[in-house]
């Protein structure tokens, strides 16, 4: 097995900065200047619309969202509208899918499989819904999947609610589904869930699904390797 890659935990990162970073990693991967990468992070409150995103699925008026300082981004991933915020682990795999067979449906299945395995590690039985992708527990959705693939390289990924304040999902019809509710690991188990335990499980299960030599890497170490302190800007700090 000669596949190799980096796993980078960014902590809490502004969505726009993380999106820019994804695109930079994508460019490096396309040019084969970088191996595959998994970015693990959380975002401050934000709403994103995918390629099928419909603003009619924003329940809260724009002035309410502005008052709450929740920005909206229309991005290239698949799917409709979703919310990201603290207490939700987001994983962005930037992979050359040609090395994994390059079948989009299989790739989405693999992302769902990672979430299902993480949930099992915590004693939660999740399920798939072929009509509504993502991962469900009973009739409530616990994780969303939305991907983009350009020049065979993946972007975006999965978002798993571990301790998310679910009230924020009332601002939208999540994934365009009016009658469905979101849930979280903390709500199901009735106890606090540590971020560290979730990211550890996610990292281990990612390695199992996407076999290869994965190395944990610090973002600053990579940027130093690239000699791109100035062009990347990095006025923000991962924490």
Question: Which range, of 55-59, 119-123, 139-143, 166-170, averages the lowest pLDDT?
Answer: 55-59
Which pLDDT score, from 0 to 100, does residue 136 have? 96
Distance CA(168)–CA(16), nearest Å, equals 19
Percent of the chain with pLDDT over 70: 87
The crossing angle, in degrees rounded to 10, of helices 104-121 and 195-209 is 140
Distance CA(227)–CA(235), nearest Å, equals 16
Domains and CATH numbers, the chain: 4-232 (3.30.930.10)
Q: Please give the structure tokens belonging to residue 18.
A: 């993380």
Which pLDDT score, from 0 to 100, does residue 35 have? 94
What is the average per-residue pLDDT within 59-64?
A: 79
197 backbone dihedrals φ, ψ, rounded to 5°: -70, -35
Percent of the chain with pLDDT over 90: 64
- The residue to which tokens 């350009």 are assigned: 150
What is the average per-residue pLDDT within 23-47?
A: 95
Task: Indicate the pTM of the whole model.
Answer: 0.89
> Would the pLDDT of 176 be above 60?
no
Q: Hey, which residues are catalytic here? A: 175
């Amino acid at each position: 097995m000669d596949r190799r890659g980096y796993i980078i935990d960014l902590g809490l990162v502004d969505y726009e900065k993380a999106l820019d970073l994804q695109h930079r990693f994508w460019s490096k991967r396309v040019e084969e200047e970088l191996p595959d990468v998994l970015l693990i992070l959380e975002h401050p409150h934000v709403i994103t619309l995918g390629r099928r995103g419909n603003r009619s699925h924003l329940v809260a008026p724009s002035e309410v969202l502005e008052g709450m300082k929740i920005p909206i981004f229309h991005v290239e991933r698949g799917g409709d509208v979703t919310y990201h915020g603290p207490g939700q682990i987001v994983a962005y795999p930037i992979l050359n899918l040609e090395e994994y067979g390059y079948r989009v449906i299989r790739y989405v299945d693999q992302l769902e499989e990672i979430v299902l395995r993480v949930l099992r590690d915590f004693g939660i039985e999740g399920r798939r819904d072929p009509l509504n992708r993502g991962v469900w527990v009973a009739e409530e959705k616990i994780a969303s999947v939305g991907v983009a693939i350009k020049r065979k390289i993946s972007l975006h990924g999965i978002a798993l609610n571990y301790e998310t304040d679910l009230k924020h999902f009332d601002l939208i019809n999540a994934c365009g589904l009016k009658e469905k509710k979101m849930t979280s690991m903390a709500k199901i188990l009735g106890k606090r869930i540590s971020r560290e335990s979730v990211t550890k499980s996610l990292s281990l299960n990612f390695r199992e699904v996407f076999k290869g030599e994965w190395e944990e890497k610090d973002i600053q170490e990579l940027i130093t390797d690239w000699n791109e302190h100035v062009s990347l800007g990095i006025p923000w700090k991962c924490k």
